[in-house]
Chain A
């Protein structure tokens, strides 16, 4: 470390490379944290975890007991074991007793991507609730026709505020926070939708994975899905020339970013643009290609050729989706206990062999990636595993939960992993803290006193 700092100081090591080296070495050394513990507020399995995207400070968790809780992961509430282990109790819990609380299990909880003023929960009671964090009141809700499996909001979006919801129903619903109504329903899946994920390169592109085994790509400005991934469309080594698979190559048609945006969103959109300045940039590789192959698009869109429309990505349900931060690859998990890495541009299955043994099949899984997309964290029964994304090799096996793990969230800011399982625990996995205690008993007492004083939240 000191050497790296020295090399950065003298300009020998590029600062960005310095960061990414430290990040990846920290991510590779994750272990059950010896200094941080979350005191889970749930009395049922933990189904969903997310740390807010703005400050990386507040962890939101949703449980099968219909409770949702928020923890401050930066400031501990108290310490144990002589001040070495910081405990983080929830700041608040909303459970069934709450007047607007969900009745059944919460399957998915997400923060509003722009700030921590709102969060959204989806539950098996068919409702999607939008909450005001400060008052813990429901400000809006949406009723869907079935159990809600997964909800997602785009962190890139500057011109819409849509919650995409995958439910028992075959249709994917887009709930508009700006208007309080369903903006669209996306039809195509032949079974319930277990996973939804927004594109990391275009705010208009949504990816959904259904119990029918299909992964569909949608451009929400258009009707119908524009691409379905086919597990048999694979590629070993060099990608085949472009022309052969152009039909699948409609990812992110983002020509006119201003088109199709409702006026009610506009005011909000401006705010958002200020919030994440680079979000408005929409150029993708897809765009150039689409201009070239414009005629193809018209022929196939909407409603793809039926053979393509039947394609599946997994044998069995698609239970988890995660797109890499660079917008070039997609990871999917299926109830066939497979993890697949897809090249989004070509729609090819890259055939990376992930050494998964068995995946839990009954529930949607929440996968998580490191910032550089080198490692993917996958709940594998009672463990969470980290796989090398490019080789599929197991890098870490994180054992700590007593029952099945449901969700992973990697906080890229601190290189900490949070996992939630059926054992109702939320575990923190962090790079080891070197214990530098040459402290004598006296100062340890001081440390304890300090933590009591910190009792503020």
Chain B
């Protein structure tokens, strides 16, 4: 049963909804604060660019984000209001480097209707009050007292019901708002009111302007000394103050965002719906405005917010494309643009559709999304784990070890690659043609297996075999010195660095050698009670050539020990517990923190914090990476050190925010890895896997990898066809140049490797692609693309005509095989029992695929089902059909084979306006609805009465806070059959804000356990701004608010891993479960995404 669900974010929201600039973290520090719907990010502006300082979730959808500075403060405070009527004022605590809540509250009212045009929150420039427009006809005022504290809020009746924008005017003795509104006759006007705090009422003020541009939508208050307000329309821009009126015509455009350039308010940046950036200048003679000028600067992403930072650098936040940091140049470039894009920030939103595919056929899903809108439309390939870009590979069986060596100590690049086999050692080197060829190092012993190799100081190389340690000149390649193991005791394991060698021989002997010029010196010998399984002396102290510590893993007592060098004194002994011996130990340091990593034979990895001074091991953590023994190796990519764990599930270990993170590598099984940084292939890795040696480079080290395929048009639907290895998309291209807003719609075929358009089928005028499906029919072996369309006539409210087109891919071309006219828009298509199930307006229609006498094929309608308002989202399973209606929640239909009819079986009688549905299992269906909630319903087959059986029972409810456009079964991670997580079914969802999330259906006992953990975490982790997590996740719509049930917030649960040890212990105590155990279980869950 999929009743108990765990919701977690795999990719955070990236849609930038608000941004502002100010001195938030310090009086001298300039900050950019960016809101991404449910998160805020605080950046610091430095000479090097934007430096992220903080990224925190907000328990609410941010409706207002404003910086302000009360009297007497030296730095700004941040005001945030959420769509669920909570507000908070945040302040930066420089010492703790975190935000603290200065004030918070609830501004909801019983009275009044929530505004349709969105909530408005504004702060008086002189900081006398905060104004909120949340309900039609009401203006809420939160006054400040003279100490800058907030007083009790009150409402003032606002006559204007259809408010488009409200702003505070500058330079007014009493706080004064200017209101842009629409009247009963759809005309737009501007009015202003003084807020009389004493009477708690408005007094009409002098500034007003009637009958504005019909598209007037935005007010920009102009600061002192000019004062007044700019009214931005679609065809004109107007400046008004008490005495002056200036207007200029503009090219028709919808202005989406503005940013003020100068403090005196004489220049503004305006971003329009086509992504064009204009500069608006108010020309003035001292304090008298003489006119307006507008100039096109260039093109950016379609802006949702513009913040002018400093020195002509501007942040352009976007909802439809990547956000950008742009520089405004004084001189235009060759194309006449003054805009230069300095940096781009990936934005997946809005994800209108996506599909889950396994292009590399590795058993790991990738998500291909239709992202962005208008000209910024793109496909994004989102994949978990780190990819290896293969550059060369050779077939080589039985590799037992690999090391890269340099031809001289100070050569920045590697030359040799030593590959060890069971009874020989071969040496490969890059030749002049940048090819890898076999070579020889005379001083090395090639007839035996090499245990370890390393570069050494003084242009020397070290080779360790089972019998000896050889020191070889890297220039003459001759042997300079050799150290022999005591006879009868062969060397089992060895390790080395530039100046030191540590070997372990049978019988528990540990021998420490130092490398001199042409000389190996045995410095110390120690006898341990057991045999040694692994060693490491990677230098992580101050001296990069010399280590003061040695890590040793032991057989028999299963321990890891730290010895001091050179005297080989035992400092620390840590028993690992269990029966699995350590197979690889590694001393390493990330972000200035030293760790000891210890990999076990069963695929587990332990990590400890290592004190460099005392050698003490603390903060033990255990994770499971795979099932086979792991070999650990460090490597460097982009000047940062990472650790590669080679096993059946290769993993890269890295650190971010002083926390160790594990990221899968998209390779099946790796036995050995070594960095191989050559001049021809810089930053490459040599990887031994399944009888093959591969040289390749590694992607950026991060968890999710996103590749962008810009389309220049808006992709609306996508689907993949395995057989033809293609994607098909429904897309539309806007043509901004023509006067009418003309659109062209296409069906495009893309190659699934190159993502090139390989074929295009243009749709008719006014014809929109609504749905797409790859399917086959009974009695026909071909695989087809089926496309559902709608003719959207300008004069019609609802489409009354559409088509179903059936294509086959032949020679990389889309060939139309059949077409069927429908009496409405084809909102959804599904393959169903070898037939085609279409949702056409309010009807579900089943088509069969018939062979005509002339051998051609056609779609023939078989049966249908009425009874929906609009059947927008349809999913099928067996003979069951689950329909998500425009406004009538979920209903369950069944196809009866004998009668050839579709009947309604059950329905959810709640009035949910659906945005997506999915079938979790035979009985449980998942829905997402218009108010950003998720819910599950259960089919009640065992009900006693027809009434009970005919009702889908709501079993789970949860406020996601995201608008879900699509659910798909699948997973972003490789599923290992043996791990617990591998058995958990998951559904992926994509949202308007660019979130990719995972819903995992947990077993009941795990749910109960995690629910308890969540409850405990709520007590310990407090929401930013004092917002309550429990309230945030409660199911919320116009009719009701109820506590979340049968859904867990994975983001909260996984934040357990970010807690300090003491807080973890606190929770562990409350749960009566050891912290280790908790950590293990939570870490398991992070593997779901």
Contacts and interface: CB of A to CB of B under 8 A. Distances in A.
Interface in B399-436: none
B116 interface: yes
B901 A449 contact: yes
Contact of A438 (B184, B770, B822, B903): B822
A450 B1040 contact: no
Contacts of B792: 2-3
B821 interface: yes
B930 A19 contact: yes
A15 B768 contact: no
Interface string B1012-1051: 0000000000000000000000100001111000000000
A25 B866 contact: no
Contacts of B352: 6, 9-10
A35 B899 CA distance: 24
A250 to B, nearest CB: 15
B987 interface: no
Interface in B685-718: 714, 716
A335 B372 CA distance: 58
Interface in B467-500: none
B110 A239 contact: no
Contacts of B157: 239, 285, 345
| 9 closest A-B pairs by CB | A446-B901, A277-B1041, A436-B823, A11-B992, A456-B946, A326-B113, A327-B111, A201-B111, A55-B909
Given A1-B797, A285-B138, A326-B136, A436 B822 contact: yes
5 contacts: A1-B798, A22-B887, A55-B910, A288-B155, A326-B111
A17 interface: yes
Interface stretch (B199-207, B326-334, B555-563, B753-761): B199-207
Contact of B768 (A2, A83, A239, A275): A2
A2 B862 CA distance: 25
A192 B72 CA distance: 64
A6 B716 contact: yes
A18 B15 CA distance: 20
B350 A436 contact: no
A457 B373 CA distance: 48
Given A1-B798, A10-B714, A19-B913, 20 more contacts: A2-B790, A2-B799, A9-B965, A10-B352, A17-B118, A202-B110, A274-B1042, A277-B1041, A284-B110, A284-B111, A373-B113, A390-B161, A434-B800, A436-B823, A436-B841, A438-B861, A439-B861, A442-B900, A443-B863, A446-B901
B1042 A16 contact: no
Contacts of B798: 1-2, 434
A80 interface: no
Interface in B178-219: 184, 199-201, 204
A135 B109 CA distance: 39
A281 B800 contact: no
Contacts of A447: 863-864, 866, 901
Interface in B847-884: 861-867, 869-870, 872
Of the listed residues B155, B319, B888, the one surrounded by the most CB atoms of chain A closer than 10 A to its CB is: B155
A16 B114 contact: yes
Given A14-B118, A433-B842, A447-B901, A457 B350 contact: no
Nearest to A411: B911
A201 B157 CA distance: 15
Highest count of chain B CB atoms <10 Å: which of A2, A57, A457? A2
Interface in A384-439: 388, 390-391, 413-414, 433-439
B863 A434 contact: no
Interface in A61-93: 74-75, 83, 86
Contacts of A456: 946-947, 950
B129 to A, nearest CB: 15
Contacts of B963: 8, 11, 15
Interface string B888-916: 10000000000111111001011101010
A436 B840 contact: yes
Contacts of B397: none
Chain B interface, >50% SS class: loop
Nearest to B900: A446
A183 interface: no
A22 B888 contact: no
Given A9-B965, A74-B909, A201 B110 contact: yes
B108 interface: yes
Contacts of B907: 74
Interface in A259-282: 274-278, 281-282
Contacts of B861: 438-440, 443
A450 B899 CA distance: 9
A139 interface: no
A325 interface: yes
A2 B825 contact: yes
A449 B864 CA distance: 12
Given A22-B887, A447-B864, A283 B110 contact: yes
A57 B909 contact: yes
Interface string B744-784: 00000000000000000000000010100000000000000
Contact of B863 (A18, A242, A446): A446
B931 interface: yes
A288 B109 contact: no
A294 interface: no
A456 B154 CA distance: 54
A375 B352 CA distance: 34
A277 B1042 CA distance: 6
B200 A288 contact: yes
Interface residues of B, number: 92
Chain A CB within 10 Å, residue with most, of B114, B887, B932? B887
A20 interface: yes
Contacts of B439: none
B1042 A450 contact: no
Contacts of B946: 456-457
Contact of B112 (A288, A292, A328, A434): A328
Contacts of B155: 285, 288
Given A18-B930, A281-B110, A12 B373 contact: yes
A245 interface: no
A400 to B, nearest CB: 22
Interface in B89-122: 108-114, 116-118
A214 B842 CA distance: 47
A372 B861 CA distance: 40
Interface string A1-44: 11101101111101111111010010001000001000000000
Nearest to B1042: A277
Interface-centre pick from B108, B790, B1040 (highest chain A CB count, 10 A): B1040
Given A2-B790, A10-B350, A325-B113, A436 B843 contact: yes
Given A285-B157, A439-B861, A17 B117 contact: yes
Given A288-B154, A328-B137, A446-B900, A5 B872 contact: yes
Interface string B981-997: 00000000000110000
B135 interface: yes
A372 B162 CA distance: 12
**Residue in A11, A285, A391, A436 with the greatest tally of chain B CB atoms within 10 Å:** A11
B825 A15 contact: no
A425 B714 CA distance: 51
A434 B770 contact: no
A91 B809 CA distance: 55
A450 B111 contact: no
Contact of A11 (B350, B797, B842, B931): B350
A16 B161 contact: no
Nearest to B159: A238
B444 interface: no
Contact of A450 (B161, B799, B901): B901
A235 B932 CA distance: 41
Contact of A436 (B201, B842, B993): B842
Contacts of A372: 113
Contacts of B825: 1-2
